[in-house]
Structure 1
Amino acid sequence: MSDPTRVASSRGEPLAQLAERVAETTMTCPDVLGLTAGPRGWIATYRAGPPLPGVAVHDAVIEVGVVVQYGRPFAEIADDVRCLVRPLAGRRTVDVLIGDVADDG
């Protein structure tokens, strides 16, 4: 479990705050319907109040778990999410887990 008060960037931003910005940015991807903590519930940020599922910020990586809309290839959706999150990640890599697929039909 990460300490949510730990500083995440040179801007002095706490990890929980960075995770919230990553979550908001991820949700702007048109193929992303929601965030998921993954099958074991490990992709989450612990903060004051309820945990934030779907984003975990570590020293070297940001993990993002998403539920996507059926249709486009998963690799393309994951690349879109990476491109959106990368400007927030600093030197961290961005790993994307597609945890579920929803079919509107």
Structure 2
Amino acid sequence: MTAPARAPGEERAAARSQAERIADAALSCPDVPSLTAGPMARIVTYRAGLPFTGVAVHPDRVEVGIVARASRPFPETAEDVRRLVRPVVGDLPIDVLVGDME
């Protein structure tokens, strides 16, 4: 049995809640004090009101823009973020952009 098709508003609501869950997971990393849309302000999820910055959910991948603490190597922090976000996104590739440092 297949699930019923979602209306456009329901699709946006599902994407928004997934983006928020991804953000919560990324921010649970102690070396990530905040998220960023990146230098070109392209890592965003559009929704009613202001865009949700720092997470972009695409059909074939997820992008997460982070501000990283400089206390450890950025590749290690990015790998931690991927590990924390993985349960939310399943098998989708996760691109982590270190857009700034603290």
Quickly name the TM-score band, shorter chain normalised: 0.7 to 0.9
**Relative contact order (alpha carbons < 8 A, sep ≥ 6): 1 or 2 greater?**
2
Cα distance change, pair 59–4 in 1 and its aligned pair in 2 (3 A):
farther
CA deviations over 1:50-104 (Å, ceiling 9, x no partner): 11100000001010000011110010000000000011112311110000011xx
Equivalent in 11, 22, 28 of residue 6 of structure 1: 11
Matches within 5 A, 1:1-105: 5-6=10-11, 14-102=14-102
C-alpha separation in 2, matches of 1:99 and 1:4: 31
What amino acid is the match of 1:6?
Answer: E
User: Structure 1 stretches (4+) deviating beyond 6 angstroms?
Assistant: none
Give the TM-score taking structure 1 as reference length: 0.84
Closer/same/farther in 2, CA of residues 81 and 52 from structure 1, 3 Å limit:
same
What is the rounded CA distance, in whole Å, between the counterparts of 2:9 and 2:42 in structure 1?
15
User: Could you say which structure has the higher strand fraction?
Assistant: 1
In structure 2, distance between residues paired with 1:4 and 1:100: 33
Determine the C-alpha separation between the residues in 1 that align with 2:64 and 2:78: 9
User: Is residue 4–residue 45 contact of structure 1 (8 Å, CA) maintained in 2?
Assistant: no
Unaligned 5+ segments in structure 1 are: 8-12
Please give the TM-score of this superposition, normalised by the length of structure 2: 0.86
Task: Name the CA distance, whole Å, in 1 between partners of 2:53 and 2:69.
Answer: 18
For structure 2, list consecutive stretches of 5 or more residues without a partner in the other structure: 1-7
More helix by share: 2
Aligned residues: 95
